[in-house]
Amino acid sequence: MTTSKLLASDFDDPQATLQSLHDRICDTAQLPLNQARALPAATYTDDAQFAWERDAVLVRQWLCVAHISQINHTGDYVNLDLLGERISVVNAGTDGIRVLSRVCAHRGMDIMPPEFGHAAQGNCDNFRCPYHHWVYALDGSLKGAPLMKDHPDVVGGHMSLHAFNSVVWQGFVFVNFSGDAEPINTQFGGLETHLARWQMDELVMVADIAWDCPFNWKVLVENFMEPYHHVGAHQSLFQPILPAQGCWTDEEGANFQVCHLPLSKALQQKVKAGEPQLISFKPMPALIEEDFLEWTVYLAAPTMLLFVAPDRVYWYRLQPEAAGRMQLRTTLLVHPDSIQAYDYVQTLEAETELMRKFHLEDMEMCGAVQSGLSSAAYSPGPLSALEEPVWLFQRYLARQIQLRA
Ligand code: FES
Ligand SMILES: [Fe+2]
């Protein structure tokens, strides 16, 4: 190492240090693609940067928290902790899909605490807080409070669990904690035409794997979106079938990215000869011929990641926790007719194993990258043209910084 990454003055004023990092991120992001470089390490390791991202970006945007097949029936719920909020995604029947805070309106207890062994997913008629047994309807309204029936606040019928701003879009449930994100159709305008033929609201989730990740959420986003790492991390699993050198990225969308991963030439020839390739489940019924020639990865910024193939969709649920940690679910969605196939159980087992295997390859890389970013020896290197999604994500980050400046 020849130069210090931080100036002495950076340590004097945390605000100035963050400002200096933001300047460096913006300077890097404005380089043309053929001169693009990786970002400074502090983008991924600095606690103040993570706090800024949480407050200035993540809580202000639409974050994807569930697929509707997880909450098909009235009373179905999925619980998760996201950005310090304990939430429940609930099917409240005629009251629609709600994203409720699990913080009791009495004295703040989590109404479904995982620490007490409460299931993170299930079905119920109502919610009962374990502390003093206050009961809430599925829409979050308070229905009863033992020995307090006559209390004016309880009698008034105005008490409830807090409902966060939420919306169902393309079959997925999104939450916006700040309550003032722009409409999701505006936020991701144009993306729906890419996804339409997959009819995501019809799909069913058939696998859901939890991962405790010792790395920054942006390390995962960048890894997920760029196909360059097929030559290394996935040289056996993906490089032969989705070779890096054929991949390409769509022009910049305001808040989303699309990266195309064409099948190898040999596989494409077979598809064109009428032999669909890499198909295990029932292909989505509305697809056109060219949909069978590639797999595609999508980022609906900041955190929604989709890996889409003719017969499946992998959706990743991200829960950033700190600069160097996140929780992750890797999930598999298929067309419901797939489940009728005589060999479905074996197919699902094999495909779930494949999902675990290729994600494990990514986990190992992302964990080692985070370690490298924490080293004094790290220095941002040049990006390949195949890392265009990383460059686009830098530009997204720079826009967020400029928006809040
Ligand atoms: S804190 Fe929930 S009932 Fe008292
Ligand atoms: Fe990967």
How far, in Å, CA of 356 to CA of 103, rounded?
34
How far, in Å, CA of 76 to CA of 61, rounded?
25
Q: Which ligand is nearest to the CA of 364?
A: 2
Q: Which ligand is nearest to the CA of 128?
A: 1
Check residue 71 and give its pLDDT. 98
How far, in Å, CA of 328 to CA of 374, rounded?
21
Q: Which ligand is nearest to the CA of 369?
A: 2
Atom of ligand 1 nearest to the CA of 108: 1
Enter the pTM of the model: 0.95
How far, in Å, CA of 30 to CA of 178, rounded?
29
Ligand 1 pocket member 107 (CB < 6 A): yes
Residue 35 CB: number of other CB atoms within 10 A? 11
Atom of ligand 1 nearest to the CA of 104: 2
CB 101 within 8 Å of CB 111: no
Residue 193 CB: number of other CB atoms within 10 A? 8
The answer to whether the 63-176 and 184-404 domains have the same CATH topology is no
Q: Cα of 359 to ligand 2 centre, how many Å?
A: 7
Ligand 1 pocket member 136 (CB < 6 A): no
Atom of ligand 1 nearest to the CA of 132: 3
Residue 90 Cα to chain centre, angstroms = 19
CB 109 within 8 Å of CB 244: no
How far, in Å, CA of 62 to CA of 175, rounded?
6
How far, in Å, CA of 37 to CA of 207, rounded?
36
3-state secondary structure of 146: coil
Check residue 156 and give its pLDDT. 82
Pocket test for ligand 1, best of 104, 110, 135, 136 (most atoms within 8 A of CB): 104
Total count of residues recorded for the chain:
405
3-state secondary structure of 403: helix
Q: Where are the alpha helices (DSSP H) in 88-212?
A: 152-155, 184-187, 191-195
Record the tokens describing residue 220, joined without a space.
């995962």
CATH number among 3.40.50.720, 3.30.590.10, 1.20.272.10, 3.90.380.10, domain 184-404: 3.90.380.10
Check residue 14 and give its pLDDT. 86
According to DSSP, residue 44 is labeled H
Q: Which ligand is nearest to the CA of 360?
A: 2
Ligand 1 pocket member 104 (CB < 6 A): yes
What is the strand order of the sheet 142-144 is part of? 127-128, 135-136, 142-144
Pocket test for ligand 1, best of 126, 131, 135 (most atoms within 8 A of CB): 131
Ligand 1 pocket member 161 (CB < 6 A): no
Q: Which ligand is nearest to the CA of 231?
A: 2
Q: How many CA atoms lie within 13 A of 254 on its CB side?
A: 9
Q: Which helix (H) or strand (E) holds 47?
A: helix 47-56
The torsion angles phi and psi of 208, rounded to 5 degrees, stand at -155, 105
The residues spanned by each domain of the chain are: 63-176, 184-404
Q: Whose CA is nearest to atom 4 of ligand 1?
A: 132
3-state secondary structure of 292: helix
pLDDT in tens, the chain (405 residues): 444 455 545 556 888 999 999 999 999 999 999 999 999 999 999 999 999 999 999 999 999 999 999 999 999 999 999 999 999 999 999 999 999 999 999 999 999 999 999 999 999 999 999 999 999 999 999 999 999 989 999 888 889 999 999 999 999 999 999 999 999 999 999 999 999 999 999 999 999 999 999 999 999 999 999 999 999 999 999 999 999 999 999 999 889 999 999 999 999 999 999 999 999 999 999 999 999 999 999 999 999 999 999 999 999 999 999 999 999 999 999 999 999 999 999 999 999 999 999 999 999 999 999 999 999 999 999 999 999 999 999 999 999 999 988
* Superfamily of domain 63-176 in the CATH hierarchy: Rieske [2Fe-2S] iron-sulphur domain (2.102.10.10)
- Residues in contact with 298: Cβ distance below 8 Å, sequence separation at least 6, in sequence order: 191, 194, 195, 256, 257, 258, 259, 304, 305, 306, 307, 308
- Residues in contact with 380: Cβ distance below 8 Å, sequence separation at least 6, in sequence order: 28, 37, 38, 39, 40, 41
Ligand 1 pocket member 162 (CB < 6 A): no
Pocket test for ligand 1, best of 103, 132, 162 (most atoms within 8 A of CB): 132
How far, in Å, CA of 127 to CA of 136, rounded?
5
Q: Whose CA is nearest to atom 3 of ligand 1?
A: 132
Check residue 367 and give its pLDDT. 98
How far, in Å, CA of 162 to CA of 160, rounded?
6
Greatest alpha-carbon span in the chain:
75
Ligand 1 pocket member 306 (CB < 6 A): no
Ligand 1 pocket member 142 (CB < 6 A): no
DSSP annotation string for 332-390? EEE-GGGGGSTTHHHHHHHHHHHHHHHHHHHHHHHHHHHHHHTSTT--PPBPPGGGHHH
